[in-house]
Amino acid sequence: MIMLSINKIIPIRIRFLVLGKGLALDARLDYDDYLQDDVEKLRTTLICSLLDLANYPASKTLFEKLQLSEYASDLEQESILELLAGAYRTKHPRWDLELLSYMFSVRNRRILQDRKQILKDATDILFKLSNHPDLTKSVVSAAYNIAMLETEEGGRLPMEVIEDTIEIPKNLDSASKYDIYTYSIGVVYHDLKMYDKSADTYLKAIEINPQGVSAWNNRGMCLLDSGNYDEAIKFFDT
């Protein structure tokens, strides 16, 4: 009698929902077997992951515009992507975290730099293709937020990976940049107790919109939490 592995008869999405784990190993196997030696497939997967994390549909039309339909179809056949209601998605947003964490766990600087470039290319492609500020804001926010999440093994995606790969488009409107600095990047740095970077980020928002009360208040709170009380009072009194 042939015994089938539970990993083969029960989809990873269901196993994760039932057991609360399993995505880390699955992401590693998928990366090693299908993605690490195929840059276009990896880039296609990362684009889908970024959209998943940003809660935006990765539509078939989008991949046609990007000329990545062939790779998306192959990834569907390899059970890395799933096509549902005309849009692709990965196995789970937590799978996206595990994939990124595994990708950037290497110590070889050349390999690390190559992988950062692939992720940067994926984000740049999305930003250049889309004329929707909300999409850009959502992708940037999701990318920074993922640095706060723990993997199944208790690790985190290094913040430097996000900083080196997520570049806010220069042509993005000022209001959207203000929102990104004030409500996304600054908040993440603050929550991670990276107070200097958080304060600098809020200052960027203030430079964009000196009348923006939220940025002033957030910078004041950041300085307060870092123990810089005298400087903090100046921002609350402004």
CB 100 within 8 A of CB 35: no
What's the confidence (pLDDT) of residue 21? 60
The number of beta carbons lying within 10 Å of the beta carbon of residue 97 is 24
Distance from C-alpha of 154 to C-alpha of 13, rounded to nearest angstrom: 20
What's the confidence (pLDDT) of residue 223? 86
103 and 176 in a single domain? The answer is: no
What's the confidence (pLDDT) of residue 19? 44
Tens of pLDDT, residues 27-69: 999 999 999 999 999 999 999 999 999 998 899 998 998 899 9
Q: Is 140 inside any structural domain?
A: no
The whole domain housing 100 covers: 9-134
Q: Is 4 inside any structural domain?
A: no
26 and 73 in a single domain? The answer is: yes
Q: Is 162 inside any structural domain?
A: no
Tens of pLDDT, residues 166-216: 999 988 999 999 999 999 999 999 999 999 999 999 999 999 999 999 999
**Structural domains counted in the chain:** 2
3-state secondary structure of 88: strand
What's the confidence (pLDDT) of residue 5? 40
Instruction: With a cut of 60, say whether residue 235 has pLDDT above it.
Output: yes
Angle at 106 between CA 91 and CA 154, to 5 degrees: 60
176 and 129 in a single domain? The answer is: no
